[in-house]
Amino acid sequence: MLEYLEVLKPRMSSEDYRRLAAIPVAKVHKFIAESAELCNPDRIFICTDSREDIEYVRRQAIESGEETPLAIPGHTYHFDGPKDQGRDREATKYLVPKGDYLSKALNQIDRDEGLAEIKSLMKNIMKGRTMIVRFLSLGPLNSVFSIPCMECTDSWYVAHSVDLLYRPAYEVFKRGEVPDDLFCVLHSAGKLNERMVSAEPEKKRIYIDYIENTVYSVNTQYAGNSIGFKKLALRLAIRKADREGWLAEHMMITGVYGPGGRKTYFAGAFPSACGKTSTAMIPGNTILADDIAYLRNIDGVCRAVNAEVGIFGIIKDVNPVDDPVIWEVLTNPGEVIFSNVLVKDGKPYWLGMGCELPKEGINYTGYWWEGKRDENGEEIPPANKNARYTVSLRALKNCDPELDNPMGVELGGIIYGCRDARGYVPVQQSFDWEHGIIAYGASLETETTFAITEEEGKYEINIMSIQDFVSIPLGKYIRNNLEFGRKLKKRPIIFGVNYFLRDLKTGEFLNDRRDKQVWIKWMELRVHNDVGAIKSPTGWIPRYEDLNKLFHEVRGIEYSETDYIKQFTIRVRENIAKINRVEKFFKDNVPDAPPELFKVLEEQRDRLIAVQKEFGNYVSPKDLEK
């Protein structure tokens, strides 16, 4: 251990040396020493999570130019480059050693080749800069859920962001409570231009070495690529969960109040821009997680925690009517980082905020004016569609008090949400655990969105909303979910939701964005068997009289039977086509798919064909109720 400290000593102040020496973990020293030797920073700053250190990081984020203060106290903004506005699938790869296997649906590169490439890109990349070292915990401290982790970065913006998003863990590291499979991240923003944004996006690489539990990220600042504990460490957590028999999921967690003040917890998996954060923040409920959840079987009960304590959320369409809780945080003093919004006179603006936007200002492309076009002649919007806000969950008035409970919370339900204009009804309940995991989770089909840097509007399978992040064979991941539920004494009920159903003739949405407030209340009642349901070929669907009552109670509006029939008519032809697409995907891409998957899909097809013979291609819920 001393050999690594001696190597690091010339790059550290006596105080930083003392701070690192207080951590009795050789692997920590080794990772920092090897990272410093590779990246060659002038200085290494060891953050102890003290108030003074946290304030220093915040101040440096501004003084470096990576963040700029806004008019409201505590608010800052940050810009990423025009080609660094989202998770980059093409640049994100698993490092797979020879002889190992990952599904061909997952982006990957030979481990030796990938390590050589990423290390050549990172050689001396921090010269003239400070390497900031952060020690953090995924999951609550002092918990069976806890995963200690560390990141070395040269971005003060990244170092600041993790203060809002994760639990500090320097003291945990000082106590030596660090597992052998410690998660490590090495990140550099790379060469920066005069606006302090990554200047070489063509050299962007985000590589995940699951053999060493290490993430390498270079030539990017976008937080989804640079904060290694977001979706990048989720890939490592999935492998850890696979070894240890629990689940690491791309899920929100919300506490939903029911009759008599009872609170039922739901986890939910939704692809980006499909309603996950807005579901987690429905007024009147509590939010415990908006992005990543760990699920464990504790004494036969499914309990869950938030891996994080903050939100890196899409800000598009956040407005005071639809999102009053987060709107309050974003428009009042407090610590918030805005990224890739439009800024004018010290105020941030974003798409869909419910007011007229300025005709000029500064955004991620520099000075912006209405009608400005990019190098391809495309008109540049005022703010990026994937513009974000970063904020602590504790800043929200509806933050759940169990956020840091080391035992987590018991889940009553699990929701899989898709973006499906054509097929699934707005809300339905699975027949059992296997049906829900396969028909709603593994079959989750969604429209690609701006949160992923590729063509919008293309439909694709996104298994459990986690497909991009699964670092084990996809078939094994599905089997793990099936087995997890089978071992529970008390299983959460699985639901499917779709907030994006459209009229097949007019193309108009059949749901108001706020209708999700009703759907989740219905799900809460179903968990406790307080209301009945209609059996459809694809699952249990609500009865009109129950929804009519809930629309009055929850939204204070009339809910017509006509709207109900439009929303809950089973579209047989579209659902059969969906099954065909799902089957083809698994046959083409997942050779280890469990046989139960094809069995459940075939049973669903048979049910659809049966009602098609009796009622035709479009089956009213009233016909099914007879």
Q: Which amino acid is at 237?
A: A
Alpha helices in 166-227 (DSSP H): 170-174, 223-226
Query: Which residue from 39, 41, 40, 49 is spatially nearest to 19, judged by alpha carbons?
Result: 49
Crossing angle of helices 26-39 and 14-21, rounded to 10°: 140
CA-atom Rg of the chain in angstroms: 24
Catalytic residues: 274
DSSP annotation of 198? B
Q: How far apart are CA 265 and CA 464, in angstroms?
A: 19
- Outline where DSSP puts E strands in 2-88: 43-46, 68-69, 75-78
Question: Phi and psi of 167, rounded to 5°?
Answer: -85, 130
- Kindly state the tokens that stand for 56: 């220093």
Q: How far is CA 159 from the centre of its chain?
A: 19
- Kindly state the tokens that stand for 449: 């969105």
Crossing angle of helices 111-122 and 26-39, rounded to 10°: 60
Q: Which amino acid is at 456?
A: E
Bridge partners (DSSP) listed for residue 266: 254, 413
- Kindly state the tokens that stand for 135: 């020690």
- The strand order across the sheet containing 388-392 reads 68-69, 75-78, 336-339, 388-392, 310-314
Alpha helices in 212-359 (DSSP H): 223-226, 231-244, 276-280, 324-330
Bridge partners (DSSP) listed for residue 305: 294
Alpha helices in 9-105 (DSSP H): 14-21, 26-39, 51-63
DSSP annotation of 553? I
Residue 279 near residue 516 (C-beta atoms within 8 A): yes
Task: Give the 3-state secondary structure of 238-278.
Answer: HHHHHHHCCEEECCEEEEEECHHHCEEEEEEECCCCCCHHH
* 36 three-state secondary structure: helix
